[in-house]
Amino acid sequence: MNHEKIDMLKSYIATNVTPILVDFISNLNIPESIIISANIEAKELNGHYEGENFLAPQWYYDLTNTNETKIIVIQDIDSISKEEQLKFKELLEYRQVSTFKIPENTRIILTAKKVSKDTINEEIYSLVAHI
């Protein structure tokens, strides 16, 4: 693994400027991270109605149950179609899903096996820093 890229990743995580896209690590195993598979269903990503109440997704409760810094890892973004990748746009651009804001101290990392114009949606790519 390239130590230069690892150092850059650590720097981006520390500054929390923008979501990060990496293609040199396919399975990130970071303590305190919330792993979201790219093929997650929309209701599991955005929340759902239960009776009259709109509930946040389970991963959101896991994220907000502490004040410690958390990392959301969207795993294998290139494993789904470019159109389906757009379901993550709101999370990446506005740092929220539905009406649920992501805590400020949350970092977002996307992993991919291969990053190219054929595998990553252009809008999604414009919202991340590719390392």
The predicted-structure confidence for 25-42, as pLDDT tens digits, reads as follows 766 667 678 999 999 998
Rounded alpha-carbon distances, angstroms, from residue 74 to 42, 49, 50: 14, 24, 25
Contact 123, 89 (CB under 8 A): yes
pLDDT value of residue 42: 87
Instruction: Give per-residue pLDDT as tens, 51-66.
Output: 898 999 999 998 888 8
pLDDT value of residue 95: 94
Contact 98, 46 (CB under 8 A): yes
Tell me the sheet residues that pair with 107.
71
Per-residue DSSP letter, 47? -
CB neighbours of residue 94 within 10 Å: 11
Per-residue pLDDT band for 125 (boundaries 50, 70, 90) equals very high
pLDDT tops 90 at residue 5: no
How far is the C-alpha of 83 from the C-alpha of 61, rounded, in Å?
27
pLDDT value of residue 8: 80
How far is the C-alpha of 56 from the C-alpha of 97, rounded, in Å?
8
Tell me the sheet residues that pair with 20.
109, 129
Q: Does the predicted TM-score (pTM) go above 0.75?
A: yes
Q: Look at the alpha carbons of 25, 27, 28, 33 in this order and tell me if their dihedral is positive or negative.
A: positive
DSSP line for 84-130: HHGGGHHHHHHSEETTEEPPTTEEEEEE-S--STTTS-HHHHHTSEE
| CATH code of the domain made up of 3-130 | 3.40.50.300
